[in-house]
């Protein structure tokens, strides 16, 4: 958060350079267009995708019929990581967090009956960007839509995946080459399609405060500009097709200031590189309300949170907006909650008068001062990154991870000690809340359907043509001058699958695996004056004395879910409370977890899952470990776990389940109680803080 004064006056803005700037004029502080929403309101673009292509297609059509003005596609984790649905590593995650796409035939089903020459489509895809973009282009062509008519955005922002979201496939260097190939190809062949959406949203979800979110986004943008410009492409030719994507959280004033500062800093960056046209200098952005701010406790409160965040995005001048559904801390949104989320934007657009004035906060003593403070703070972060040798060096050194994880820990400590109030969680908690119904996806049925479709596709296609196209793709990966998207399009057109295209590339580029780590000491320092924290530490110490050693926990991420904010925060909290803690690599298999457990005397096994695949993945793991290991270990599961799934997990052998909103004290106290019972530590008393 930037520092705020009790009140502001003209003295606070007298020195500001751009206080008299106008909307639609460089440096675009007050908005990228002169009339802003008075001429064209922001696009209502809701992120949607689940189950199979037909189910998502029906949801798209309903969205458009009920006021949606563009589409945004959510893909499942198997698709993100380049696996076909029938791959053994992917099967538990198929169709859980988005739509399963294995081939161009699935892509054609996804957009069946939707005019792609009129409806813009945003696709959140990074790791498997080549086969997904290729499938979209071929699906459009085979539906009668020429490439130059296609409108929309492909995220194609791989660098942030190595920092927070982890849906990467290849290492950073070859991944950057792929990004540049996509920009190069689309800038020529698809003139109405944005070739990159450089994202800050995921930094905020991982724990970054607004200034760090913006700084990392701009640092990544600089790296992309370097990579693309090195090919001889002119900024004025491609820069206007780069867009940005920011999160909007509950720091209302800071979020508005962040979006205003973002346009200023981007304009400065491209001007410094020699851009001449306003199109190149003008930042276009999409915003999404915070997923992290949604609470599982009293979820209807999330309607108010999302409305406040949406207003901040609009006041900040976004070009399109997604509003999260109130039940997304519990599951995928239901039709009812998705409609309320969409209607939030329609009401803001049509009932409030918000669209009447461009940049209504412009000239505010407070807002102009905060915007300048935000820009200055971002510049300071960028100087630190430059001193490390640029964003790739900052990533490799661990600086990026340390900054984000450190801010996440500070936030969690303030929630746990009550300094960061969250109504219904640590303030004004209700004891009789009713949970809303959640959407259930029959992922097993979708998996079987996708398997059958893959089998039919392979039986009916020209195998020799596919093999030749895939061989050409592998050869292109070895040639630094070949455009990989062009070769992937030919493979997809021949009916190669997404997984086959990925495997063809992996013959030249290895699959990347990052190390897992966490910060020790910081959470405990932040809680050092908290009596509850000292009480729970004494509880762990007492257990330590009875055992003769510190309790030891292994925390694991199973399946394809790469979101690691929660597991790293819990690891830090356990360590600072007195546990010895290890974290498994991301995407661990049951066999890998078993080997880790066999290699060291662990007392507890923690499993973090946010993808909805907790039932099959936990069952697979516990079956692999066997009953003896489950009897010995304290097994606990955390993540987005609906209430109705907790009994099934308990029956499998899970000792404790922690959905979102549990404090560190609650987790540690219950874990110690479980371990005490497991080890028959007689006379040991556990105090509950739940």
User: What pLDDT, in 10s, does the model give residues 303-345?
Assistant: 999 999 999 999 999 999 999 999 999 988 999 999 999 999 9
Query: Can you tell me the distance from the alpha carbon of 213 to that of 390, in angstroms, rounded to the nearest whole number?
Result: 16
| Average pLDDT over the chain, rounded to an integer | 95
What does the pLDDT look like over 255-292, one tens digit per residue?
999 999 999 999 999 999 999 999 999 999 999 999 99
pLDDT tens per residue, range 659-678: 999 999 999 999 999 999 98
178 lies in the same domain as 303: yes
Distances in whole angstroms, Cα of residue 364 to Cα of each of 130, 250, 267, 311: 45, 20, 22, 17
Whether 433 maps to a domain, the answer reads no
154 shares a domain with 116: yes
Helices 252-272 and 210-229: angle between axes, nearest 10 degrees: 20
SS3 state of residue 307: helix
Q: Give yes or no: residues 92 and 228 share one domain.
A: yes
DSSP 170: B
Q: What is the mean pLDDT of residues 608-635?
A: 96
- In degrees, rounded to 5, the angle at the alpha carbon of residue 141 between the alpha carbons of residues 487 and 239 is 65
pLDDT of residue 439: 87
List 322, 563, 575, 614, catalytic entry: 563
The answer to whether residues 210 and 290 belong to one domain is yes
User: For residue 686, what pLDDT is reported?
Assistant: 44
Q: Is residue 155 part of a domain?
A: yes
Looking at the predicted structure, is the pLDDT value of residue 685 above 70?
no
Based on the domain organization, do 83 and 150 belong to the same domain?
Answer: yes
Residue 4 falls within a domain, yes or no?
no
Mean pLDDT across the stretch 509-517? Answer: 92
Give domain status of residue 516, yes or no: no
Tell me how far CA of residue 198 lies from CA of 177, 210, 214, 362, 646, in angstroms. 16, 15, 10, 26, 38
Domain boundary among 463, 479, 507: 507
Q: Are 637 and 646 in contact (CB under 8 A)?
A: no
Q: 341 and 266 share a domain?
A: yes
Which residue among 557, 564, 576, 602 is the active-site one?
A: 557
441 inside domain: no
442 burial level (CB within 10 Å; 0-12, 13-18, 19+)? exposed
Question: Are residue 205 and residue 278 in the same domain, yes or no?
Answer: yes
pLDDT at 79: 98
Check 18, 37, 47, 543 and give the catalytic one: 47
**Among positive and negative, which fits the CA dihedral 82, 86, 91, 94?**
positive
Predicted confidence band of residue 437 (pLDDT cuts 50, 70, 90): confident
User: Is 202 considered catalytic here?
Assistant: yes
Q: How many CB atoms lie within 10 A of CB 599?
A: 10
Q: Which of 507, 535, 552 is the last residue of a domain?
A: 507
Q: Shortest CA distance to 128 belongs to which of 485, 463, 477, 475?
A: 485
Q: Is the pLDDT of residue 495 over 70?
A: yes
Q: Can 47 be counted among the known catalytic residues?
A: yes
| 157 included as an active-site residue | no
What are the residues whose beta carbons fall under 8 Å from the beta carbon of 485, sequence distance 6 or more?
Answer: 130, 133, 134, 181, 182, 185, 186
Cβ-based neighbour number of residue 460 at 10 Å: 9
Domain ranges, residue 499: 450-507
Does residue 498 sit in the same domain as residue 532?
no
Question: Of 485, 563, 477, 502, which is closest to residue 160 (Cα–Cα)?
Answer: 563
Buried b (16+ CB within 10 A) or exposed e, 90-105: bbbbbbbbbbbbbbbb
75 and 145 together in one domain: yes
Do residue 255 and residue 378 come from a single domain?
yes
Q: Read off the pTM.
A: 0.95
Is residue 544 predicted with pLDDT exceeding 90? yes
* Residue of 80, 202, 258, 614 marked active site: 202
**Spacing of C-alpha 389 from chain mean position:** 26
Residues 234 and 377 in one domain: yes
Average pLDDT over residues 375-383: 98
Catalytic residue of the set 201, 326, 381, 523 = 201
Domain boundary among 377, 397, 417: 397
- Specify the residue for token string 């600086």: 399
pLDDT for the residue 688: 40
Known catalytic membership, residue 258: no
Residue 633 lies in a domain: yes
pLDDT at residue 679, rounded to an integer = 76
The reply to whether 512 belongs to the active site is: no
Tell whether 147 is covered by a domain: yes
pLDDT reported for residue 689: 36
446 or 436, which is more confident: 446
431 inside domain = no
**Per-residue confidence band for 441, with pLDDT thresholds at 50, 70 and 90:** confident
| Encoded tokens for 93 | 């995650």
Q: Quick check: is 201 catalytic?
A: yes
Domain count, the chain: 3
| 331 or 169, greater pLDDT | 169
What number is the average pLDDT over the span 579-590? Answer: 96
Q: What is the CA radius of gyration of the chain?
A: 25
Q: Tell me what pLDDT residue 174 has.
A: 97
Place 682 in a pLDDT band, splitting at 50, 70 and 90.
very low
Catalytic residue, from 561, 576, 603, 645: name it: 561
Contact in structure between 135 and 156 (CB atoms under 8 Å): no
- Residue 119 to residue 117: CA distance in whole angstroms: 6
The answer to whether 140 and 150 are in contact (CB under 8 A) is yes
Q: Does one domain contain both 33 and 59?
A: yes
Whole-number pLDDT of residue 369: 97
| Residue position matching structure tokens 């874990």 | 671
């Amino acid at each position: 958060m930037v520092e705020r004064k009790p009140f502001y006056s003209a003295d606070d803005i007298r020195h500001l350079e751009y206080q008299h700037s106008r909307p639609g004029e460089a440096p675009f502080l007050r908005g990228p267009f002169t009339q802003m929403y008075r001429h064209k309101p922001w696009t209502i673009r809701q992120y949607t995708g689940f189950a199979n292509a037909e189910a998502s297609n029906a949801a798209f059509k309903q969205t458009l019929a009920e006021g949606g003005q563009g589409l945004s596609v959510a893909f499942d984790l198997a698709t993100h990581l380049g696996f076909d649905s029938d791959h053994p590593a992917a099967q538990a995650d198929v169709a859980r967090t988005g739509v399963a796409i294995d081939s161009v035939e699935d892509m054609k089903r996804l957009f069946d009956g939707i005019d792609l020459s009129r409806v813009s489509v945003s696709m959140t895809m990074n790791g498997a960007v080549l086969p997904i973009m290729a499938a979209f282009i071929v699906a459009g062509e085979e539906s009668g839509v020429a490439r130059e008519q296609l409108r929309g955005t492909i995220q194609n922002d791989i660098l942030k995946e190595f920092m927070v979201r982890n849906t990467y496939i290849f290492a950073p260097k070859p991944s950057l080459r792929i990004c540049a190939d996509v920009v190069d190809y689309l800038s020529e062949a698809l003139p109405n399609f944005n070739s990159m959406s450089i994202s800050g949203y995921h930094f905020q979800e991982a724990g970054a405060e607004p200034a760090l979110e913006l700084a990392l986004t701009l640092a990544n943008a600089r790296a992309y500009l370097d990579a693309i410009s090195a090919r001889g492409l002119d900024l004025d030719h491609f820069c206007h097709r780069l867009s940005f994507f920011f999160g909007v959280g509950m720091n209302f004033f800071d979020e508005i200031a962040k979006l205003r500062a973002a346009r200023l800093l981007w304009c400065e960056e491209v001007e410094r590189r020699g851009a001449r046209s306003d199109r190149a200098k003008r930042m276009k952005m999409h915003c999404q309300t915070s997923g992290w701010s949604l609470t599982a406790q009293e979820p209807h409160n999330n309607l108010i949170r999302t409305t406040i965040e949406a207003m901040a995005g609009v006041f900040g001048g976004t070009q399109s907006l997604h509003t999260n559904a109130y039940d997304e801390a519990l599951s995928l949104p239901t039709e009812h909650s998705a409609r309320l989320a969409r209607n939030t934007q329609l009401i803001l657009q049509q009932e409030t008068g918000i669209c009447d004035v461009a940049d209504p906060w412009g000239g505010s003593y407070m807002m102009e001062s905060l915007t300048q403070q935000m820009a200055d703070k971002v510049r300071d972060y960028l100087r630190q990154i430059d001193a490390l040798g640029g964003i790739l060096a900052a990533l490799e050194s661990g600086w990026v991870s340390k900054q984000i994880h450190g801010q996440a820990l500070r936030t969690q400590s303030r929630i746990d000690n009550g300094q960061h109030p969250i109504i219904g969680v640590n303030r004004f908690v209700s004891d009789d809340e009713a949970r809303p119904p959640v959407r259930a996806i029959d992922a097993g049925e979708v998996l079987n359907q996708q398997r059958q479709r893959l089998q039919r596709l392979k039986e009916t296609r020209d195998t020799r043509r596919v093999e030749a196209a895939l061989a050409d793709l592998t050869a292109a990966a070895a040639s630094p001058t070949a455009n990989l998207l062009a070769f992937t399009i030919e493979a997809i057109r021949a009916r190669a699958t997404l997984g086959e295209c990925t495997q063809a590339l992996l013959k030249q580029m290895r699959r990347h695996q990052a190390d897992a780590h966490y910060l020790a000491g910081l959470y405990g320092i932040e809680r050092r004056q908290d009596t509850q924290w000292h009480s729970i530490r004494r509880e762990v110490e007492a257990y330590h004395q009875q055992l003769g050693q510190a309790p030891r926990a292994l925390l694991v991420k199973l399946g394809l879910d790469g979101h690691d904010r929660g597991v790293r925060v819990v690891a830090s909290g356990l360590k600072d409370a007195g546990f010895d803690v290890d974290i498994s690599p991301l995407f661990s298999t049951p066999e890998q977890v078993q080997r880790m457990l066999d290699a060291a005397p662990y007392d507890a096994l923690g499993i973090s899952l946010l993808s909805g695949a907790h039932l099959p993945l936990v069952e697979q793991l516990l079956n692999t470990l066997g009953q003896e290991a489950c009897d010995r270990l304290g097994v606990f599961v955390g993540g987005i776990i609906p209430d109705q799934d907790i009994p099934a997990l308990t029956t499998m052998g899970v000792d404790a389940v922690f959905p979102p909103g549990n404090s560190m004290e609650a987790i540690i106290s219950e874990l110690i109680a479980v371990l005490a019972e497991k080890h028959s530590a007689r006379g040991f008393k556990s105090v509950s803080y739940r």
